[in-house]
Structure 1
Amino acid sequence: MKNVIILICTVLSITAYAQFSPQSKKITEKFFPDSEAILNTTPALQKKRGFTNYKELMAFLNTVKSSHSDKVEISFIGKSQKGKDIPIIKINVPNSKDKIKVWMQGGVHGNEPASTETMLYLIDRLLNDNSHENLMEHLDLAIVPMANIDGYLKNDRYAANGLDLNRDQTKLMAPESIAIKQAYSDFNPDVSVDFHEYRPYRRDFARMGDFGITNMYDVMFLRSSNLNIPENLRVLTERLFIENARKPLDVFGYTHHPYISTTKVDGEIHINQGSISSRSFATNTALTNTISALIEIRGVGLGKTSFKRRIHSGFSIALSFLRTATENIALVKDEIEQAKRQQNDVVVEYKRGIYQDNVSFIDVNSNEYIDINLTIRDAEKATSTLTRKRPKAYIVEANQTDIINKLTILGVDIEYLENEKTYDVETYVIDNYSAKPIRYEKMKLQTVSVDLKKQQLSFPKGTALVYMNQRRANIVPEILEPEAPNSLVSFGVIKTKKGDTLPIYRLLN
């Protein structure tokens, strides 16, 4: 009996780490044959089983540092909840040429190993392949290869406290989220790319087709459609950066599509296309007037099936983004400056466009492509349902240190009153309140509506002023407008009730 228990535990542990793949050999061979273009130069590629562990990660990075000490810097941005130092590698060839700052990261979800391995492979090829020398001359690059170390080491999407780091970008409750966001703000990039993997075999898919279907796309691109992101940056991201990144995928025969996922509405499966939510990294960083994208590679739950193909697709996209950035330095910086000058109204609430369309999948039984007509809930076609005039500034009471600290971590510039001052402001008075019965991400969600009241109020020394004429201004309404779906009020960080006046004010122009 003891031996049987040991055997069962061993099998379970191997399965949890190696991930038995649900994908048939015939689907892999027909649609997702592995790449022969990838060299075995990173830890996971040098072993048959398992993925890069923390010890191997640090050994790899330290070897890179010792071999390229003139252009590589390695430091730690903070610790994981279980005490692991989170490394960041910065690559910068010392010269006086014009450069563009690019941020890349992988491993935000611990069960997406090709995202981390793509980052390691990119580091290796940039530094050891001479064909990239010219690219490197104009690049200031920061990479966090394994953002969620605790989750990664147990092949788990979530951080040690159960939080999803890619749903934590406004409330900032996980130590890893704070460390990554502070490092991002300090680096202040022009371009940001977040690498992920997605699950191609979903519970929703099992009842579709004859015997189930699977997602067919090697890669899905997510460029946020949040309406508070200046339109010129949304257009530049889509029509220059993502359009260029599609080209090498086409050359290698890798399929791609805008990001889609499933959701259930009244028991019916719908397709969410694109994203608007500032709780996730790609939208959050785009709201700081940065060219920002999230890359989803087909891989969660597949173990090492098509592992080199997954790395190759991610690597091809990463290289494309770097080339596009370095070849368009002046354009990117000019567009960011233009975005900083925009003074649009702020969108507080929105609704997605909804329509019917065919979506392509692979039928598991027939081993062929299949089109299924589904309801699409499209972020690209979103429209505003609540818009407010852009204030000159938001005012935050001096005792609201948690709000002020979160804004600071997000890179928002804050000024403080040196003396008492009187302003004409709008106050938020809660006129409708409800609390969700089920917690989300460990937070007690609140839904509110407010009555805006104009008042003349005096504010004491130390009161925080968040002016809306700064680079990261567009993230501020997402945090402070109480009805916004990812605001500190909606997430319950700012606790309130009906009749309360919030400790946040709008300074009128």
Structure 2
Amino acid sequence: MKVNKISVGKSILFFAVGTSLIAQPYTPKEKTYVQPAQLENIFKDVSLTVETPGVNKNKVSFTSQEEMMEYLNKIVKQNKNIKMEIIGYSQEGREIPALFFSENNKFDKTKPTVWIQGQQHGNEPASGEGVLAVISQLSKENFQKELLSKINIIIIPRVNPDGSWLFKRGSASPEDINRDHTKLNLPETKALKKLFIKYQPEVVIDGHEYSSTPERYSTLGNKGVLPYYDVLMLSSTNPNLSKDITNIADNILIKNGEDNLSKKGLSGSWYYTSVPKKDKTPFTLEMASGDAIIGRNAFGLVPSISILVETRGIGIGRENFSRRVESHLTIYESFLKDVALNSDKVRDTVRKAREEVIQKGLNTKDHDEDKVIIVSNIKDKGMGKYKFIDLETNEVKEFPVKIKTSKEQDVVLERSRPYAYILPPGYRKVADILENHGVTYYKTMKPVKLKVESYEVKDIKKADKIYEGQYRTYVKADTVTKEILFPSGSYIYTMDQSQGDFIALSMEPESSSSFVLYNIVPVTDKNQIHIYRAMDNLNIKELDVTTK
């Protein structure tokens, strides 16, 4: 299957997770890689166009929670079009603030809303500082006049205050907040999702930083290479997403964002993860997956226009910090102005995409024509050339690499969209999670016998390593039609909701974001999965049910 093909002709770079090993600390919490002095010619200092707490040549640490809150309170007090709310608290009790920008301090639902969030990962400080920079810019009257007549804006500058304090990627737990956007196990993601569902933003921008150190690239060049691009970007890549939404993200927002970076002497391209090699097989760049546990994809499946923004920065402490923050600011300004310029198109496209998913859920006749992609593989595009900094010459050069793109995917498993999923009364946790996602459901008031599809488990494997707090359960199953007597209190999740695709990916056991995979719905001792697919219209009005 081909999913919304894009051009990757420009040189691209990618994300590489990990901390560096060279021991010259720039913060009390991290050893950092020291860049060669010659790179000053490539990553020239830029003057930040706004003031933020952390951009100060004499500062040796990054913006603390206290400094951030003082900064935000000062801005809010001075501006009638900005208000601030504490939307929740971290695991260690730190405040998670959100700022709201609207004309005359009133959100107009006829305008699209843009959501910007920073620092899901605590060791990515420029992602948070860049959001503070855009808050500073938006406090200026001229920017408000230009934007707020066309759009509303919500900004969460620091999603992970505990990780920021500890200067580590994960939360205090130490689960990764950006791997918790399906199961919502953490207070931080619960707070985000509650606010998100309340306002239903049309555009989501998620700020991060990627690794700037050479460990993963040792097989490239004679002495290795370093990442080159200031900014990497990627829209949601779940293959079920509307092509019209992807088109706005890729061909308007990201394309213009790259152009605006270039005008400031900054560079931008598409976001990739890297696959390190210890042998001489081709070094591989993989565009990040469409997994719904990741914020970029979970927000995209609402549906919304959802874009990841990553600046180079992990592992280099405060080096190039002003440049990194200015890179974030440049992209955010570009996105905001483009959404304002195309406000009607953005609003109408997202509304249409949401309505299309709802209508698919109401259609119980053309099951063979409407399938949800459950498992897919990103496409191998063969060899290409991409830009890195050659550590032998300290120059930007193109190197041969293999490229795999998630903008084109091969379907491994797809299933017909059901009318509803049904679970027995014992699965209250699933109901709580999906309710937090804004999903509505019905509960049966008395026993009812229904014809449904059930899962017949063909293969089951338990992971031998823990991942995000769970030993994941990998299942392969077929579906068989049965009549099941459902007890009073059973849950019915109809698919006539804008998050219908997300519901399916949560329920289908083979999905990489499935409740079965993460043991929220366990496989029983008899290899049963108590999730059922109602393929025919249940005539809900004729059933004895309550609505939630």
TM-score, normalised to structure 2, is 0.86
Partner of 2:236: 224
The alpha carbon displacement at 1:165 in A equals: 1.0
Partner of 2:99: 89
The alpha carbon displacement at 1:13 in A equals: 7.5
When you count helix as a share of all residues, which structure comes out higher? 1
CA distance in 1, matches of 2:467, 2:451: 37
Deviates more, 1:380-389 or 1:490-499: 490-499
Partner of 2:481: 454
Contact 1:21 1:305 in 2 (8 A): no
Contact 1:214 1:361 in 2 (8 A): yes
The alpha carbon displacement at 1:143 in A equals: 1.0
Counterpart check, 1:385 vs 2:412: yes
The alpha carbon displacement at 1:50 in A equals: 1.2
The alpha carbon displacement at 1:163 in A equals: 1.0
Partner of 1:335: 349
Q: Which blocks of at least 5 consecutive residues in structure 1 are unaligned?
A: 1-10
Contact 1:430 1:499 in 2 (8 A): no
CA distance in 1, matches of 2:453, 2:152: 42
Deviates more, 1:381-390 or 1:92-101: 92-101
The alpha carbon displacement at 1:132 in A equals: 4.0
Deviates more, 1:479-488 or 1:200-209: 200-209
TM-score, normalised to structure 1, is 0.92
Which of the numbers 49, 60, 84 marks the counterpart of 1:38? 49
Greater relative CO, 1 or 2 (CA 8 Å, sep 6+): 2
Cα 1:188–1:337 change in 2 (3 A) is: closer
Partner of 1:349: 375
Deviates more, 1:49-58 or 1:95-104: 95-104
Partner of 1:479: 506
CA distance in 2, matches of 1:227, 1:142: 27
Partner of 2:312: 298
SS in structure 2 at match of 1:351 = strand
Contact 2:209 2:312 in 1 (8 A): yes
Which of the numbers 291, 294, 297 marks the counterpart of 1:277? 291
CA distance in 2, matches of 1:12, 1:55: 26
Counterpart check, 1:73 vs 2:73: no
Counterpart check, 1:252 vs 2:274: no
The alpha carbon displacement at 1:204 in A equals: 1.4
Partner of 1:106: 118
Cα 1:50–1:234 change in 2 (3 A) is: same
- RMSD over aligned Cα atoms: 2.1
The percentage of counterpart residues that share the same residue type is 27
Cα 1:58–1:15 change in 2 (3 A) is: closer
CA distance in 1, matches of 2:186, 2:309: 23
CA distance in 1, matches of 2:107, 2:422: 41
The amino acid of 1:442's aligned partner reads G
Cα 1:209–1:16 change in 2 (3 A) is: farther
The alpha carbon displacement at 1:191 in A equals: 0.7
SS in structure 2 at match of 1:361 = strand
SS in structure 1 at match of 2:426 = coil
Which of the numbers 377, 381, 395 marks the counterpart of 1:368? 395
Counterpart check, 1:52 vs 2:79: no
The alpha carbon displacement at 1:272 in A equals: 0.9
Aligned length: 496
CA deviations on 1:455-503 (whole Å, 9 max, x unpaired) are 1223334322222221111211221100011211112332215742222
Cα 1:432–1:497 change in 2 (3 A) is: farther
Contact 2:296 2:307 in 1 (8 A): yes
Counterpart check, 1:323 vs 2:328: no
Partner of 1:401: 428
CA distance in 2, matches of 1:463, 1:117: 47
The alpha carbon displacement at 1:231 in A equals: 1.9
The alpha carbon displacement at 1:407 in A equals: 1.1
Counterpart check, 1:188 vs 2:215: no
The alpha carbon displacement at 1:17 in A equals: 4.3
CA distance in 2, matches of 1:202, 1:417: 58
The alpha carbon displacement at 1:264 in A equals: 4.5
Contact 2:26 2:318 in 1 (8 A): no
CA distance in 2, matches of 1:109, 1:206: 26
Cα 1:96–1:203 change in 2 (3 A) is: closer
Contact 2:27 2:60 in 1 (8 A): no
Partner of 2:36: 24
Deviates more, 1:441-450 or 1:256-265: 256-265
CA distance in 1, matches of 2:397, 2:159: 36
CA distance in 2, matches of 1:363, 1:35: 23
CA distance in 1, matches of 2:107, 2:467: 48
SS in structure 1 at match of 2:474 = strand
Cα 1:413–1:302 change in 2 (3 A) is: same
Partner of 2:452: 425
The alpha carbon displacement at 1:394 in A equals: 1.3
